[in-house]
Structure 1
Amino acid sequence: MATRATKKTVKKAAAKAVKAVKKVVGKEAPTPAAVRLPALHESTTSSGLKVLAAQRGVLPLVAVRLIIRAGSSVDPADKHGLSDFTARLLRRGTAKLSADELDETIEFVGASFSVGSSEDVLSLFVATPAEHFPEMMSVLGQLVREPSFPEREVELARERALAGFVNDLDDPSVVADRAFNRALWGEHPYGHDVGGSKAHVRTFTREDLVRFHRERMGPRVSLLSVVGAVSPDVVAREAEKAFAGWEGGPEAPVELPPADMKTSGRIILVDKPEQTQTQVRIGGPGFRVGHADYFPAAAMNNVLGGGFTSRLVNEVRVERGLTYGIHSYFEMMNAGGVFGISTFTQTDKTREMIDVTLAEVAKVRQKGITPAELKKAQRYLAGLYPLRTETNESVASVISDIRVHGLGDDWVEKFRERLMEVKPKQTVEVATKYLFAQPPLIVLVGKASEVKKQLTGLGPVTVVPASDYE
């Protein structure tokens, strides 16, 4: 964050950096080669697990992604964070292998395993040399079919998670994100942090994990994607071996209610008296993943605040030196989405930051972006897209996302064509729809005694302690 003494330096450096980027981005880019996914081969195991295989590349490597539609949105009402907690405990032992034995087995062949959880899905990732693919598939099958959830491992994981919540309170950015998410989504299943809260996690028991695994994790709500130097026949055969007999979980994914965000110009001021800066989040409703507005919204947002040469960066960082970073974004999930802006500034510049940011948003909402800006954004985004299909891991993720979110198998091949077809009129339409036609939610984390007096006229202000977000 720039002080008064360094404002001119920040502004000069930022202007120089933006100029350099504009020089590169502004050039006509050659027409890139077509982006296509490798041929997909589909099969289904006897347990009902759908399998996608794509033979690809000359390197003897294979990437695997197993998606289970059991993300934080299906956490029990009194056990927020259970999906994420369960995911992390999968690696800590199975009916046949202890945590140490699992680590040794995986590391011995040069493979890697990781897990993750989001609002919509729980994912397991495997990267392995092709010659050890059958063995690693067997390990993956054990992790999801028969995790042991050792009592001691559950206790240690719970202690680490609780310590993490305490540490998170020292990071105002984390607090701001939690407060923003909770205020926007409210009681919706997306309205709590993926990792849960201290009050809920402290109640987790081994029985909770066993129940979640049995009731939420099963083959009929899962998808396995395998990409790399392995034939589809081998993939189908090894998937059957690894996942035969997998039971449990629902018959179909849980249908979530649609979002019902009521921003109404509310201001949530999270008090952290020791702060000399204010974290700022501004937002409102967006759209679900796969929505028809995606392409015009992506181009419009790149101009507004999604890139380093955006209007928000130019006005807020370069011209005024109010911050080192600001960006706008669309976050999309299965049941809805968010349009948001994230930044920070000096405590005494909080109101100026809000006013300048909202003014830039209003300009785009009222007039859209220029044809020249649209063309530049299209070239930039089209040029970046091939990076999403460079590695086996990225292809496995793209394939999974296409199927889980119903994007259509031509999503990758048609992506840049659809992007380049966006017209200026469409960017005006999405700007009118999503750029705060109604007063947005504003979440601020900082010294409330200094910030609150700057907020007169913006809307009703609710002051809450930072400890509410532990």
Structure 2
Amino acid sequence: MATQSATKKKPAAPTTSALMLPALHESTTSSGLSVLAAERGPLPLVAMRLVVRAGSAVDPKDKHGLADFTARLMRRGTQKRSADEIDEAIEFVGASFSVGSNEDLLSFFVTTPAEHFPAMIGLLGEIVREPSFPEREVELARERTLAGFANDLDDPSTIVDRAFTRALWGGHPYGHDIGGSSAHVRTFTREDLVRFHGERLGPKVALLSVVGAVDPKLVLDEAEKAFAGWTGGPEAAPRIPELGKMASGRILLVDKPDQTQTQVRIGGPGFRMGHPDYFPSTAMNNVLGGGFTSRLVNEVRVERGLTYGISSYFDMLNVGGVFAISTFTQTERTREMLDVSLAEVAKVREGGISAAELKKAQRYLAGLYPMRTETNESVASVIGDIRVHALGDDWVEKFRERLHAVKPKQTQEVAAKYLFPNPPLIVLLGKASAVKKQLKGLGSVKVVPASDYE
């Protein structure tokens, strides 16, 4: 029997403009799936997001990319319907279905007209509970994926990002590309997918959020029908090990002799999702390189014309994170790009940002945030993230308040902590014969061919 409860939000005070999530109605199905329903109009649409704690971090050691591959194949047939029949059912009612994956999660997204909600949540349950993984569909997907890896060699940005991830995280479960590699994907079999689905996807490690023009009681009743009898998967979320020492103080040079530009990635340790440093770090980084008027953009692009684009960012995952810079430049200006970028980072690390810069960043970020709750899809995603990453149910409501509470001293503290207090890892992709001679004094250099990242 499903259990049900409702958590009501206090109405916002009339003198404030606080963002508020709609009231969340919670339940757990008889199979153990957590369900969050939020009624939200006025459009007659419903968005669903089912998240499963089975991202690429739980890929088998010799099957990198299996989580993503399995999720993509789940809609290609069930015990009751073929891939074409699934597509027809979705298209007939004007709905949409998509799959996403990252290091921590697999996500299944459905949007549907409200009148067809029961049918579409039923189809979602069918796809998640009983995928058939037809042999021919597995073969076709494997061929397409391998062809994609070959094509990736023509995309320098994709290759350098792949190299950066591997070098930075090393042997940690976060240290491989979400899609895997050609060497691993080539070995995937239907049996691998069936095993992964049975062992890693299950109701106890999943969460369903439903937002839109639908009665929460109907959501809870239909979720019980759709996911009754779902078994498999672990009893608790997988334990991803904490990161040890992250790679630093060296240079990986990915050789692609036909390049006239150098792709540049610079990185070091950051912090996990939901860390207390989030708000001061977000404000500080907006000034450094997180916005189009940032210091990095002004110095590197506007003043020196070294690139068309540069950004710095914090990539936050469940058990750790990264602070990084991403850009590109002409081959002959690679060293200048590195020197100027690292100098700007050092200025903020050592001197912080000004009170005026902080206020400007706070206004910008606070003004931008409401877009995170404009649509049913975005609200369903936010609800899922709040619960999966334990951000607290007041995350949206208090976001702008917490952002505006950041003081200059806090931004100075996080700058000193995360802006490369130790020499960073530098990953470059370009013409090695022309780039390597520019790197003297920056650290040990290892040259590898781009083909290593197919």
TM-score band, normalised by shorter chain: over 0.9
* Secondary structure in structure 2 of the residue aligned to 1:412: helix
Cα deviations across residues 363-387 of structure 1 (Å, max 9, x unaligned)? 0000000000000000000000000
Which of 162, 169, 174 matches 1:178?
A: 162
Residue 440 (structure 2) pairs with residue 466 (structure 1): no
Q: Distance in 2 between matches of 1:260 and 1:314?
A: 35
| Paired residues for 1:381-420 under 5 Å | 381-420=365-404
Residue 286 (structure 2) pairs with residue 292 (structure 1): no
**Identity rate of aligned residues, in percent?**
80
* Secondary structure in structure 1 of the residue aligned to 2:48: strand
* Secondary structure in structure 1 of the residue aligned to 2:20: coil
**What residue in structure 2 maps to residue 338 of structure 1?**
322
* Secondary structure in structure 1 of the residue aligned to 2:253: strand
Cα deviations across residues 299-322 of structure 1 (Å, max 9, x unaligned)? 000000000000000000000000
Residue 358 (structure 2) pairs with residue 374 (structure 1): yes
Whether the 8 Å CA contact 2:256–2:450 is kept in 1: the answer is yes
* Length-normalised TM-score, structure 1: 0.93
What is the letter of the counterpart of residue 175 of structure 1?
A: I
Q: Distance in 2 between matches of 1:56 and 1:350?
A: 51
* Secondary structure in structure 1 of the residue aligned to 2:289: helix
Deviation at 1:32, TM superposition (A): 8.1
Gaps of 5+ in 2: 1-14
Residue 30 (structure 2) pairs with residue 46 (structure 1): yes
Whether the 8 Å CA contact 1:269–1:464 is kept in 2: the answer is yes
**What residue in structure 1 maps to residue 119 of structure 2?**
135
Q: Distance in 1 between matches of 2:126 and 2:231?
A: 12
Deviation at 1:59, TM superposition (A): 1.0
**What residue in structure 1 maps to residue 55 of structure 2?**
71
Whether the 8 Å CA contact 1:185–1:260 is kept in 2: the answer is no
What is the letter of the counterpart of residue 387 of structure 1?
A: M
Whether the 8 Å CA contact 1:184–1:261 is kept in 2: the answer is no
| Paired residues for 1:22-33 under 5 Å | 33=17
Cα deviations across residues 71-97 of structure 1 (Å, max 9, x unaligned)? 000000000000000011011000000
Cα deviations across residues 306-354 of structure 1 (Å, max 9, x unaligned)? 0000000000000000000000000000010000000000000000000
**What residue in structure 1 maps to residue 430 of structure 2?**
446
Residue 340 (structure 2) pairs with residue 362 (structure 1): no
* Secondary structure in structure 2 of the residue aligned to 1:379: helix
Which of 145, 154, 159 matches 1:161?
A: 145
Q: Distance in 2 between matches of 1:376 and 1:81?
A: 41
Whether the 8 Å CA contact 1:57–1:229 is kept in 2: the answer is yes
| Paired residues for 1:422-437 under 5 Å | 422-437=406-421
| Paired residues for 1:262-277 under 5 Å | 262-277=246-261
Q: Distance in 2 between matches of 1:179 and 1:428?
A: 31
What is the letter of the counterpart of residue 299 of structure 1?
A: A
**What residue in structure 2 maps to residue 214 of structure 1?**
198
Q: Distance in 2 between matches of 1:55 and 1:419?
A: 28
* Length-normalised TM-score, structure 2: 0.96
Two-structure CA RMSD over aligned residues (Å): 0.8
**What residue in structure 1 maps to residue 110 of structure 2?**
126
**What residue in structure 2 maps to residue 245 of structure 1?**
229
Whether the 8 Å CA contact 2:66–2:180 is kept in 1: the answer is yes
Deviation at 1:262, TM superposition (A): 3.1
Q: How many residues of Structure 1 are paired with residues of Structure 2 in the alignment?
A: 440
What is the letter of the counterpart of residue 385 of structure 2?
A: D
* Secondary structure in structure 2 of the residue aligned to 1:306: coil
What is the letter of the counterpart of residue 428 of structure 1?
A: Q
**What residue in structure 2 maps to residue 28 of structure 1?**
none
Q: Distance in 2 between matches of 1:261 and 1:356?
A: 26
Q: Distance in 1 between matches of 2:62 and 2:390?
A: 31
